[in-house]
């Protein structure tokens, strides 16, 4: 079938390396089918799914079960994180070599149940087993608890003051970097959000790679909390303009490796609960590419830089394999975009059954008009085509 790409730009398939599809869990909030349809409508060809599901993915049985339940449900390719716990260091060493595993994910803070690893001894043990790059949510657990307690004691600024707490993320990032330096294990720090972390990490580029979220590049506190209330609550929090400008500077100077959405759906009522009971996390897999294209149109970064951060960068950091090559696009994954399109993101465009987006009403110059996964056109002009033919993504077993 003929494809007319006149006036369009053909990009390598764009990757969202940070997505919580919540499956298994509550399908009325998010699930594989809806989450990946949202992804392809938004121009994503591959996403990496987080392990903090209702049943955490922390061993071979839970990983195998997740892979089986994805079959016939996914519209794009999906790589899977495997979750670190205080007890599974040995198992992780084997599991990180599984073909479908994009990386180990470790929550230093901000997680429920089994998936919290908050002490240096456990983190170091995990770092000393295996060799692939480990991904971290770096916020320090004790400090995060303190932040909550502070507000529970009646801080008048409520959630608005969250962005003041820079130390929570910076402390965790320093702890992890010290452990990485001591063990020689390469690490990837997810959603870096502060000027302090980025300045500090300049000296560790050989060992520590970084992700920045579209939310931190687009939203600015405290205004966003006034405008969106609980819909803006996430960990790490949206920061003020000082940090916002610092992360943009790092992006432009090439000190950032990946951009992700941290798509983390919650039921609307959980987002609207009064602080500090507000559920933390924003939806974003469907809006990531449109919002980034708009940043390109407004001159905040070049299209080349965006492709580096959303295709080449994630492929390199995670060791994504395309027909044996650590480069995106070799297996005919493409995102075709119309930089002349003027569109507005609205909630009714969003597929996720949770039914909300922090980008409702956001105007975009530039829009994804076609998504091609392994040679198949799966989205064209806002329409999903074909069937749920996504596959498990495949990763190099060597350290990246
Ligand atoms: O805001 C967040 N939401 N931060 C996390 O680290 C977890 C995520 C979630 O799963 O809801
Ligand atoms: Zn996180
Ligand atoms: Zn996350």
pLDDT of residue 222: 86
H helices present in the chain, as ranges: 32-41, 60-70, 89-95, 120-128, 141-152, 167-183, 195-201, 214-218, 223-228, 241-252, 268-272, 288-297, 303-307, 313-318
Residue whose CB lies within 8 A of the most ligand 1 atoms, among 260, 278, 280, for a mutation test? 280
pLDDT of residue 152: 65
Report the atom number in ligand 1 closest to the C-alpha of 52.
Answer: 10
- Contacts of residue 226, defined as CB under 8 A and 6 or more positions apart, other chains included, come to 160
Q: What is the torsional sign of CA 125, 127, 132, 134?
A: positive
**What distance in angstroms lies between residue 283's CA and the mean position of ligand 3's atoms?**
10
CA-wise closest residue to 291 among 230, 369, 348, 343: 343
Q: Ligand 1 pocket, 138 CB below 6 A?
A: no
Closest Cα to atom 4, ligand 1: which residue? 235
Q: How far apart are CA 243 and CA 159, in angstroms?
A: 17
The answer on pLDDT for 160 being more than 70 is: no
Q: Which of 58-62, 112-116, 318-322 has the highest mean pLDDT?
A: 58-62
Q: Ligand 1 pocket, 137 CB below 6 A?
A: yes
Q: Write the pLDDT tens digit of every residue in 301-355.
A: 999 999 999 999 999 999 999 877 887 777 899 999 999 999 999 999 999 999 9
Active-site residue, from 262, 294, 333, 338: 262
Closest Cα to atom 2, ligand 1: which residue? 281
Length of the chain: 400
Q: What is the torsional sign of CA 355, 41, 281, 114?
A: positive
Closest Cα to atom 5, ligand 1: which residue? 235
Q: How far apart are CA 81 and CA 72, in angstroms?
A: 20
Residue whose CB lies within 8 A of the most ligand 1 atoms, among 234, 267, 275, 278, for a mutation test? 234
**What distance in angstroms lies between residue 229's CA and the mean position of ligand 2's atoms?**
20
**What distance in angstroms lies between residue 280's CA and the mean position of ligand 1's atoms?**
6
pLDDT of residue 1: 67
Q: Write the pLDDT tens digit of every residue in 195-245.
A: 999 999 999 999 999 999 999 999 999 899 889 999 999 999 999 999 999
* Banded model confidence at residue 399, pLDDT cuts 50, 70, 90: confident
* Banded model confidence at residue 150, pLDDT cuts 50, 70, 90: confident
Q: Ligand 1 pocket, 52 CB below 6 A?
A: yes
pLDDT of residue 324: 77
**What distance in angstroms lies between residue 333's CA and the mean position of ligand 1's atoms?**
28
Report the atom number in ligand 1 closest to the C-alpha of 266.
Answer: 11
ipTM: 0.97
Average pLDDT over residues 105-112: 87
Report the atom number in ligand 1 closest to the C-alpha of 22.
Answer: 10
Report the atom number in ligand 1 closest to the C-alpha of 279.
Answer: 11
Q: Write the pLDDT tens digit of every residue in 364-392.
A: 999 999 999 999 999 999 999 999 999 99
Average pLDDT over residues 265-291: 94
**What are the b/e assignments for 188-216, b being 16+ CB within 10 Å?**
bbbbbbbbbbbebbeebeebbbbbbbbbb
Q: Ligand 1 pocket, 234 CB below 6 A?
A: yes
Report the atom number in ligand 1 closest to the C-alpha of 235.
Answer: 1
Q: Write the pLDDT tens digit of every residue in 18-47.
A: 999 999 898 999 999 999 999 999 999 999
* Banded model confidence at residue 158, pLDDT cuts 50, 70, 90: low
| pTM given for the model | 0.97
Average pLDDT over residues 68-83: 98
Active site residue 257: no
The answer on pLDDT for 157 being more than 90 is: no
**What distance in angstroms lies between residue 281's CA and the mean position of ligand 1's atoms?**
5
Q: How far apart are CA 275 and CA 279, in angstroms?
A: 9
Q: Write the pLDDT tens digit of every residue in 351-371.
A: 999 999 999 999 999 999 999
Q: Is 398 left (phi over 0), alpha (psi -120 to 50) or beta?
A: beta
Q: How far apart are CA 243 and CA 59, in angstroms?
A: 37
Average pLDDT over residues 170-195: 98
Q: Which ligand is nearest to the CA of 191?
A: 2
pLDDT of residue 400: 76
The answer on pLDDT for 161 being more than 90 is: no
Q: Which ligand is nearest to the CA of 110?
A: 1
The average confidence (pLDDT) of the chain is: 94
* Banded model confidence at residue 153, pLDDT cuts 50, 70, 90: low
Which pairs from 90-93 meet CB under 8 Å and 24+ separation?
90/129, 91/58, 91/59, 91/60, 92/126, 92/129, 92/130, 93/129, 93/130
């Amino acid at each position: 079938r003929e494809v007319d790409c006149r006036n369009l730009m053909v990009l390598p398939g764009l990757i969202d390396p940070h997505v919580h599809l919540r499956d298994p869990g509550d399908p009325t909030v998010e699930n594989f089918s809806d989450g990946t349809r949202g992804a392809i409508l938004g121009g994503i060809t591959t996403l990496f799914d987080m392990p903090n599901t209702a049943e955490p993915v922390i061993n071979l049985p839970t990983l195998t079960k997740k892979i089986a339940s994805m079959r016939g449900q996914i519209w794009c390719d999906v790589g899977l994180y495997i979750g670190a716990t205080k007890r599974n260091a040995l198992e992780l060493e084997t599991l990180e070599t599984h073909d479908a595993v994009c990386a180990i994910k470790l929550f230093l803070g901000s997680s429920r149940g089994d998936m919290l690893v908050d002490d240096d001894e456990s983190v170091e043990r995990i770092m000393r087993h295996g060799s692939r790059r480990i991904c971290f949510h770096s916020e320090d657990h004790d400090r995060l608890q303190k932040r909550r307690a502070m507000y529970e004691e009646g801080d008048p600024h409520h959630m608005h003051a969250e962005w003041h707490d820079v130390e929570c993320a910076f402390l965790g990032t320093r702890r992890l970097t010290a452990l990485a330096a001591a063990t020689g294990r390469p690490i990837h720090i997810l959603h870096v959000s502060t000027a302090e972390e980025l300045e500090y990490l300049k000296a560790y580029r050989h060992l520590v790679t970084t992700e920045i979220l579209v939310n931190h590049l687009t939203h600015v506190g405290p205004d966003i909390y006034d405008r969106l209330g609980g819909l803006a609550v996430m960990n790490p929090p949206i920061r003020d303009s000082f940090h916002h400008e610092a992360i943009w500077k790092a992006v432009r100077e090439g000190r950032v490796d990946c951009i992700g959405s941290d798509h983390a759906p919650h039921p609307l009522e959980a987002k609207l609960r009064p602080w500090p009971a507000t559920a933390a996390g924003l939806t974003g897999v469907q809006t990531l590419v449109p919002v980034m294209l708009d940043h390109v149109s407004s001159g905040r970064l070049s299209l080349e830089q965006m492709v580096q951060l959303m295709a080449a960068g994630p492929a390199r950091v995670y060791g994504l394999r395309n027909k044996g090559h650590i480069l995106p696009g070799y297996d005919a994954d493409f995102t075709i975009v119309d930089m002349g399109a003027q569109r507005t993101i609205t909630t009714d465009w969003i597929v996720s059954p949770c039914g909300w987006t922090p980008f409702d009403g956001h105007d975009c110059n530039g829009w994804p008009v076609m998504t091609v996964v392994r040679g198949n056109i799966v989205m064209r002009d806002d329409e999903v085509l074909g069937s749920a033919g996504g596959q498990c993504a495949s990763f190099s077993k060597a350290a990246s």
